[in-house]
Structure 1
């Protein structure tokens, strides 16, 4: 998904691309709703980390919903979009066709993961300051700021497209200045990709070093098993969040570098490749990967987050065999 050229797409995506995009949208919506349901329903999942994961799931769910409807109405032509008024057409062009909503929700997804990383960083690296720095009121404020900032950072996209006067076109591209797509692409690369991913990578490195040092110290001191188990549980949670970050890096990298490679997919682009059919299919593939990031997180929680697996069983009343044993997954982190 390219912030400056998404609305320059070919009139029709290949049918297989449309089907995959629609399937990603459905699976992503259902999977992220499941995450919200389990965390909200199961009491032992009620902690700050999981509340932040709920916000991440809401951002991903809304992004998948937006992708589903946009591709059905615009590229796949499975739903005929017939605007009843100029205002409806204007909203469609500026909110959906410009990819304003898509990028706003992508920002929200990345920044909520940053917020979850910050919460874990303070809990592990600065535990004595956790209660003072991360009060409930402060965290609610930070969550609200993430949503507001995500939509504000995407505002320039509203001015890249407008309703078309041509009878066979709904929207047409309109840049305020010829340098606008280049500046917007560079800004998006740094604000939505490079900056948050760099900060999170450094934070997880510091957390991993701290947890290893704590585990080693507890072993040498022959500390009680409960203290050592708590450190291991924290390591597992950090490992899960690192997997979420790793998936984001893998699935977003190609798309964001494609933005820098080709600001525009026309004869005005800096490389001839940018206007070719090959680039068109490359963009379709990177779009699939980009959107898949909003689908994969529920699967990561299932395979990597033991406490979430336990909550899933409790939420759907799945009884466990030999349930008297105390599990680390139930220990508050």
Structure 2
């Protein structure tokens, strides 16, 4: 008898299965084909925008010497994390959410969950580094060049990646996140499932370490930055009557730093807004016996992922240097394609 992927329940209702040839298979989501195609189209577009947008940031900073600097090297690493998320995490999550099945094996389920957690931790810690960088640039400008050097930034970026890797993969592959919930996981797992569960302890520790503490540090630093920037603006307005050439240069430099701080504050604010709901649910879920609907988890996951799509758009909108770099790269790419088409047509 040929397997059709269907199963009959006791009530006579037809159920689609993830693995019809396996006993104990998870049921597939019974969505209309038009709904599935629509979901695939919109999510694929979001993934493509994430990858292409962050590649533009990576190429811009790598190619143009004017963009070489401590802050932009952190942004380069942040864009790399977002690009990796778009390439190696989001496509598999898309299939899982649209089909309602995990087709990629249990080992890759753990690897995927670990990589997802790692890239999220990398992003928030990079934003934390950026806030520290902006703090010294605005609040202690005379010490900025000595305290924040490219070499120090590269060392810190490497530490962030290594720490995030060790924390995320160590937690998931050691099974520490699910200690005490082995029976619950056994009862709720089936062929085609990929459960990401945290017990009460790690449900608090993981979000605290990877999101809430760095987020609190960033918020405090940016409050201090804007307080100092406002004070500088007031001082400059009081001295407007006796402005010298040197003062004008300092004022222009301070304005650039303030604008950069505002831009990066928008990036930080976008990250916190996008991921806040997911991390709150992650903390609450163990206390309500994991009764949060899967659809709610999936929705907050994609809102978080959307932040990686938005970052390059924020840079292009607020940062003139990035906007110019994007235009040059895109115009050159279009020019090369046109030249190739002309050659092929001859």
Q: TM-score, normalised by structure 1?
A: 0.76
Aligned counterpart, 1:157: 172
**Pairwise CA distance, 1:78:** 11
1:72-87 to structure 2, matched below 5 A, reads 74-76=96-98, 81=103
Structure (1 or 2) with the greater helix fraction: 2
Aligned counterpart, 1:183: 201
Aligned counterpart, 2:281: 258
Is the alpha carbon distance of 1:77 and 1:130 closer, same or farther for their aligned partners in structure 2, counting shifts above 3 Å? same
**Pairwise CA distance, 1:26:** 2.1
**Pairwise CA distance, 1:105:** 0.5
Gaps of 5+ in 1: 1-8, 83-88, 264-268, 319-333
- Kindly provide the CA deviation profile for residues 192-227 of structure 1, in whole angstroms up to 9, marking residues without a partner as x: 221111111111111112222223223323243322
Moved more, 209-218 or 227-236: 209-218
Is the alpha carbon distance of 1:13 and 1:121 closer, same or farther for their aligned partners in structure 2, counting shifts above 3 Å? farther
Tell me the distance in 1 between the aligned counterparts of 2:274 and 2:30.
20
Is the alpha carbon distance of 1:174 and 1:196 closer, same or farther for their aligned partners in structure 2, counting shifts above 3 Å? closer
Are 2:160 and 1:146 equivalent residues in the alignment? yes
Are 2:191 and 1:169 equivalent residues in the alignment? yes
Is the alpha carbon distance of 1:282 and 1:316 closer, same or farther for their aligned partners in structure 2, counting shifts above 3 Å? closer
Tell me the distance in 1 between the aligned counterparts of 2:161 and 2:55.
18
Q: Match for 1:49 among 45, 52, 71?
A: 71
Aligned counterpart, 2:238: 220
Tell me the distance in 2 between the aligned counterparts of 1:66 and 1:214.
44
- The number of residues matched between the two structures is 288
> Is the Cα–Cα contact under 8 Å of residues 24 and 292 in structure 1 kept in the other structure?
yes
Aligned counterpart, 2:214: 196
Is the alpha carbon distance of 1:79 and 1:34 closer, same or farther for their aligned partners in structure 2, counting shifts above 3 Å? farther
- Kindly provide the CA deviation profile for residues 217-254 of structure 1, in whole angstroms up to 9, marking residues without a partner as x: 23323243322122111111111001011111111111
- Pair member with larger Rg: 2
Are 2:291 and 1:275 equivalent residues in the alignment? yes
Aligned counterpart, 1:292: 306
**Pairwise CA distance, 1:112:** 0.9
- Kindly provide the CA deviation profile for residues 136-172 of structure 1, in whole angstroms up to 9, marking residues without a partner as x: 322211110000011122121222689x9xxx72567
Q: TM-score, normalised by structure 2?
A: 0.73
Is the alpha carbon distance of 1:173 and 1:74 closer, same or farther for their aligned partners in structure 2, counting shifts above 3 Å? closer
**Pairwise CA distance, 1:45:** 1.4
> Is the Cα–Cα contact under 8 Å of residues 49 and 116 in structure 1 kept in the other structure?
yes
1:225-236 to structure 2, matched below 5 A, reads 225-236=248-259
Tell me the distance in 2 between the aligned counterparts of 1:311 and 1:174.
40
Are 2:325 and 1:311 equivalent residues in the alignment? yes
Tell me the distance in 2 between the aligned counterparts of 1:220 and 1:299.
36
Aligned counterpart, 2:58: 36
> Is the Cα–Cα contact under 8 Å of residues 106 and 194 in structure 2 kept in the other structure?
no
Are 2:72 and 1:58 equivalent residues in the alignment? no
